[in-house]
A and B are shown apart, each in its own frame.
Chain A
């Protein structure tokens, strides 16, 4: 499943809020790391999900080592800003003076796109980092902001560069960053979505915006949390007849399902049938939107089944196994 990503050193993962983007990012990192590749997973100044997903809480820019090959860090805008400034202002004392100047701080905090540029510059630093002539990281997986913002975010270096008319050290840096981002040979952009209306539409839009604005394709679309069918297609007529019978003999079943009061044991059968009807509805809806996705996005699409584990790192482990090509959890069609 990981084929489109194996030769990419930088992998940006985006997707609408709530689609499991961070979980998939974490799983991707884990899957790549388990192939023996040194993998760095980066968050971009967010409410960190990795605490849940990897069982750690990162502070500072320095990546935390989670296993022999897996590293992670949450790039806080403030830290990246200080790091970038220190790189570009001659002399750390002068840099500190600017950082500690109250007015300058206010300005940089409020000015648009300063955060994005400094975060992307920090990613460039990790990308270029070497140990004894070899790249320090084989893969860098970046959990980008929600896809509505992703293209803008990734386009900030190019925009900034244009604004500076290519003059000055920051302009040079932005040009380097833009070149890395826009190179589909080195850099992958993967979009995570759910098989639902809005996330699918947003992915279709993202793919076309990437082409239009950055002039590069989407590398991969990942449909996450796809519901399994509770029964085989051949059995639908039998199930439909059962559903009709149950609904006829237990009027008001569907409102009974929503009742928050403890319910009567005699309704057990009705609940079992209604529950499966609900699940079948989810499955059908998912398939409809997957069809939309396939017909409108010109990129490989992979499907990840929904997992219901409560703890984040269990879900990550299962998704990582799935991505790594271990489909044992699919053998049992009802595995949840």
Chain B
């Protein structure tokens, strides 16, 4: 039932990467099917024998359904691979597929619960206005918390491979820059500013250079806000050390040679432009994209096809279906089909040109193409088909690995 395996040169390096990588970060513009593609990558890795978890940010319910789940939650859920293995005729290589959806608020609350030194601190934290603001999923929280979860999944020791689906464009870039950001918010110097300096008393605070700014801030932001802020930092200094350590560790993980970046895009020229922007941004962050997966590529329709088709032949074929239709009616329908096909062919050419321009920038060998499938991915068969285009499954992954 699977599409014929594509024996192209790019498949082997990608397969190797799925076999050996420990973390794959999927970034890319919105609306290109990034989450579904990430799931397809995860499915392929799991079927090749790896214990894989896909962490998504914002999945469609039908993705959960296609994996045989009602819904994705903040806790990893295991996906039954029996049917997928049966469909492809592969044997169970001990791989597992797990999936979860990030719930920032819950993750943050769990983190605070876990790290609070005592019940009193926890109670104070939860009553603090700023804490409440932070935990109601304000901007940036999703990114902080994705890294927090990533840390747990990565260091937990159970999973061989973590696949991280990130929010689109701007947020994904914030996401990559977040390790630094999360720890700067709780930067020791900032905390010292706001924390009452018990040793030096009032005079000590007045002459503390930070407190001049503090005074100014209270003027602008209001006394009560600053008091809340002081209390917040006082309560949360226990988080600071942990977040800073994790931030550093995550930076380290992101730079690990077994961490890979996939840019997922569509062939639309504007999306390709965004993909190039990601590519450059990764470069600035001293990272590189290992693969560009181009999703929903229009099949190769050719404008020349219209000339190759004899109008009379097509009319005859159409008339065979309906003996009652007039010749005029039939030729009208034929023209409609031809016009529409020409537009599709134009679109196909536009896609190929955009892909070619990407190839000149990043190299043909970094590209993987997934054709536009006729329907939404809403069952396992569709997901398998998608993963076949990413990298074809070997008839028996274990034997192949042993040989290699």
Contacts and interface: CB of A to CB of B under 8 A. Distances in A.
Interface of A: 16-19, 45-47, 49, 52, 85, 88-89, 94, 98, 101, 103-104, 106-107, 109-113, 115-116, 145-146, 148-149, 152-153, 156, 159-160, 162-165, 167-171, 194, 196-199, 201, 230-232, 235, 237-242, 245-246, 254-255, 257-260, 262-263, 265, 268-269, 271-279, 281, 285, 308, 310, 312, 333-334, 336
Contact of A98 (B170, B216, B318, B350): B216
Nearest to A17: B30
Contact of A308 (B184, B210, B321, B343): B343
B58 A230 contact: no
Contacts of A107: 185, 187, 190
Given A159-B136, A275-B301, A106 B60 contact: no
A102 to B, nearest CB: 9
Interface in B282-325: 299-302, 304-306, 308-309, 313-314, 317-318, 320-322, 325
B350 A164 contact: no
B139 A115 contact: yes
A109 B185 CA distance: 8
A158 to B, nearest CB: 11
A238 B302 CA distance: 24
Contacts of A257: 299-300, 371
Contact of B129 (A163, A246, A271): A163
13 contacts: A17-B167, A17-B169, A18-B29, A106-B190, A168-B223, A171-B221, A197-B61, A201-B61, A257-B299, A257-B371, A258-B299, A263-B302, A276-B340
Nearest to A88: B220
A237 B322 contact: yes
Interface in B132-148: 133-134, 136-141
A27 to B, nearest CB: 14
A148 B340 CA distance: 35
A19 B30 CA distance: 8
Given A152-B139, A258-B299, A272-B305, 16 more contacts: A98-B216, A113-B138, A153-B139, A163-B133, A170-B220, A201-B60, A238-B325, A239-B337, A241-B321, A242-B317, A257-B299, A260-B300, A271-B299, A272-B306, A275-B340, A334-B336
A308 B228 contact: no
Contacts of B318: 238, 242
B344 A237 contact: no
Nearest to A21: B30
Contact of A198 (B60, B271, B346): B60
Interface stretch (B16-24, B73-81, B372-380, B394-402): B372-380
A64 B213 CA distance: 35
B181 A167 contact: no
Given A163-B129, A245-B317, A17 B225 contact: no
A241 B320 contact: yes
A145 B174 CA distance: 14
A165 B190 CA distance: 23
Nearest to B35: A198
A336 B343 contact: yes
Interface residues of B, number: 88
A119 to B, nearest CB: 11
A272 B309 contact: yes
B189 interface: yes
A273 B29 CA distance: 32
A312 B184 CA distance: 39
| Interface hub of A113, A163, A169 (most chain B Cβ within 10 A) | A163
B367 to A, nearest CB: 11
A333 B340 CA distance: 10
Interface string B47-89: 0000000000010111000000000000000000000000000
B347 interface: yes
Contacts of B130: 163
A103 B210 contact: yes
A145 B309 contact: no
Nearest to A167: B222
A94 B302 CA distance: 66
B269 interface: yes
A89 B220 CA distance: 7
Interface in B191-231: 193, 210, 213, 216, 219-225, 228
A230 B3 contact: no
Nearest to A23: B270
A47 B300 CA distance: 31
B317 A197 contact: no
A276 B222 contact: no
Contacts of B389: 258
B154 interface: no
- 9 closest cross-chain pairs (CB), A and B: A18-B31, A17-B30, A168-B222, A241-B321, A110-B185, A17-B168, A18-B30, A268-B305, A257-B299
Contacts of A273: 337
B225 A164 contact: yes
A262 B305 CA distance: 12
B30 to A, nearest CB: 2
Contact of A149 (B61, B139, B216, B220): B139
B139 A112 contact: yes
A163 B172 CA distance: 29
